[in-house]
Amino acid sequence: MKSGIVCLVGRPNVGKSTLLNNILGQKVAITSPKPQTTRVNLEAVYEDDRGQIVFVDTPGIFGKVVDSLSKRINPRAEQALSRHVDVVIYMVDHTREKDFEENKAIGIVRKIKAPKILVINKSDVRTPTYIVQYKFLEEEFDRTIEISALHRKNLNTLLEAIFELLPEGKPMVDTKDMVQPGLNIESKTFLAEIIREKAFLFLRREVPYRVTAIVDEVVERGSGALYIKARILTTEDRYKAMIIGAGGVMIKEISMASRKELETATSKKVFLDLTVETNEHWMDFV
């Protein structure tokens, strides 16, 4: 039996969280087209008859650091790699040119002594492509695999390669009583992340980076339905106005989409009480 820790690394929006969700067959990491969606190192367990993989999904490594939140997010991938790691998956998006941000991520990965897999995502997309800019990296990696994380193409091939590189060992995590594969995220945090994801998906380009979500209360009522009281925090009143929208339309859309996914995640009827607050210091404590 094989067992070990596998760290997913890459610049923002290459598809790491989508890959993890589709390998696990259920959602543990939120996704959106916008950078900075993943803000913490998320750990989750995959296992089958070949053994057990503890995946660590890291925030994308981005080049420009402009605020206190970004300054804390960027080192989190390096922190994950500084611990014992058995395999590193370095993920790239061949439809985007290699740039300073990519070079920064590659530089971090080069310092790691563990076996490495170069994963080239979006194999289903033919143009644009800058794959020649990444092919030269192949000689630095133990394996190179082209996948489509979104369409689940070649994920079994990737899993086979991971298990080949993992050491022999007993399972690291007892999964017998686990209700979901996520290891290091509390239920309130997971619910808040779903709300933040929907805010990212609905809001304009500049707003999401000034937004977070907090779940204050989760109560199961006699009917079995869940009452969830949550807040979206943002840094300025002008962003608050955008989140609420004219006549409250935007917050209603965010709330409706969040409620539907929360019901899917919890398998319960959900009543979501969602408000918006301005807190210029929230980035200092997330």
226-234 and 211-220 as β-strands: parallel, antiparallel, unpaired?
A: antiparallel
- What is the C-alpha separation between 128 and 91, in angstroms, rounded? 17
- CA-CA-CA-CA torsion for 109, 112, 116, 120, nearest 10 degrees? 0
Measure the N-to-C terminal CA separation of the chain; round to a whole number of Å.
38
- What is the C-alpha separation between 72 and 99, in angstroms, rounded? 22
CB 215 within 8 A of CB 192: yes
At residue 200, φ and ψ (nearest 5 deg) are -60, -40
Q: Which helix (H) or strand (E) holds 234?
A: strand 226-234
Annotated binding site: 10-17, 57-61, 121-124
How crowded is residue 219: how many other Cβ atoms within 10 Å of its Cβ? 10
Annotated binding site for GTP: 10-17, 57-61, 121-124
CB 5 within 8 A of CB 85: yes
Local structure of residue 225 (DSSP, 8 states): P
Look up residue 119 and give its two tokens: 């994963």
- What is the C-alpha separation between 150 and 140, in angstroms, rounded? 26
CA distances from 24 to 156, 191, 265 (A): 12, 18, 14
270-278 and 226-234 as β-strands: parallel, antiparallel, unpaired?
A: parallel
